[in-house]
């Protein structure tokens, strides 16, 4: 799953960028989370949480903290985030070089959407991004599922419930044991947080108070006996990404 931030002090452009990026990702069948910010100050207020983003679209001309300064601050946290400048001007190439910007997108052009698609193509190529899919014979249907879209798998009443993000979170079931499914999903970075829950590490936002908080703000309990191992695995995974 891609995590993307859009930072622009003009609401119209924030929403346009989000619209075109979502359209692109939908066509590629790539799941994503997109957050929007109306200033560099608001974005930088995330601190180390900036490390959770793969791509940041950044307006250059903003009040108080402009895009160039914001980009320099982002680079203090990470050199791996893909920074895309969005601007009405073309005279920032040297500054963009200093912060290793991936692209400049010019506002108010008739082919703005095409520029975003080309930009996303270039970023995914650099990331060597691959959409992983796995085939399941659910009770409801047979389905190729994008692994990144599985939030978690729950064992309930002798069945497994797959909680999968589509237009909304949908549940598909099949008959199997969670022990067997744990072995099957281990290579996809799933972790057993509870006797009844197998969770996609990609969708854990935080771990606190013997609970995991998922990206959709759902809370799942972690027993005390598993808490240390779950937290260590989560920290190790965050270090990898």
How big is the CA angle at 49 (ends 98 and 93), to the nearest 5 degrees?
A: 15
For residue 119, report the phi and psi dihedrals to the nearest 5 degrees.
-60, -45
| CB count in 10 Å sphere of residue 126 | 10
| CB count in 10 Å sphere of residue 36 | 17
| Rounded Cα distance, 72 and 18, in Å | 23
Report CA-CA distances (Å) from 227 to 5, 187, 212, 214, 241: 31, 21, 10, 16, 21
Residue keyed to tokens 């006797």: 195
Q: 210: closest CA among 195, 198, 228? A: 228
Would the pTM of this model clear 0.85, i.e. be above it? no
| Rounded Cα distance, 166 and 145, in Å | 10
pLDDT digits (tens, 9 = 90+) for 6-45: 999 999 999 999 999 999 998 888 888 899 999 999 999 9
Helix 11-28 × helix 112-127 angle, to 10°: 50
Token pair of 227 as six digits: 């808490």
pLDDT of residue 91: 63
Position 89 pLDDT exceeds 80:
no
pLDDT of residue 92: 54
pLDDT of residue 98: 67
The residue-averaged pLDDT of 221-225 equals 92
pLDDT of residue 140: 93
Mean predicted lDDT score pLDDT of the chain: 89
| Rounded Cα distance, 192 and 157, in Å | 18
pLDDT digits (tens, 9 = 90+) for 164-183: 987 788 999 999 999 999 99
């Amino acid at each position: 799953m891609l995590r993307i931030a859009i930072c622009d002090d003009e609401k119209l452009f924030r929403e346009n960028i989000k619209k075109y990026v979502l359209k692109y990702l939908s066509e590629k069948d790539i799941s994503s989370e997109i957050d929007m910010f109306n200033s560099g100050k608001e974005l930088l207020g995330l601190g180390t949480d900036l490390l959770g983003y793969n791509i940041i679209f950044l307006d250059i001309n903003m009040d108080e903290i402009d895009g160039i300064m914001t980009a320099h601050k982002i680079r203090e946290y990470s050199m791996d985030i893909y920074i895309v400048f969005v601007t009405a001007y073309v005279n920032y190439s040297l500054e963009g070089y200093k912060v290793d910007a991936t692209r400049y997108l010019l506002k108010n052009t008739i082919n703005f959407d095409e520029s975003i698609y080309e930009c996303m193509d270039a970023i995914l190529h650099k990331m060597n991004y691959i959409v992983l899919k796995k085939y399941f014979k659910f009770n409801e249907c047979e389905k190729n599922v994008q692994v990144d879209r599985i939030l978690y798998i729950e064992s309930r009443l002798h069945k497994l419930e797959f909680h999968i993000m589509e237009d909304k979170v949908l549940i598909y079931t099949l008959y199997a044991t969670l022990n067997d499914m744990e072995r099957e999903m281990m290579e996809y970075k799933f972790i057993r947080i509870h006797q009844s829950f197998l969770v996609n590490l990609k969708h854990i936002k935080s771990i606190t108070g013997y609970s995991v908080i998922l990206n959709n703000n759902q809370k799942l309990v972690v027993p005390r006996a598993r808490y240390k191992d779950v937290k260590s695995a989560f920290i190790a995974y965050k270090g990898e990404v």
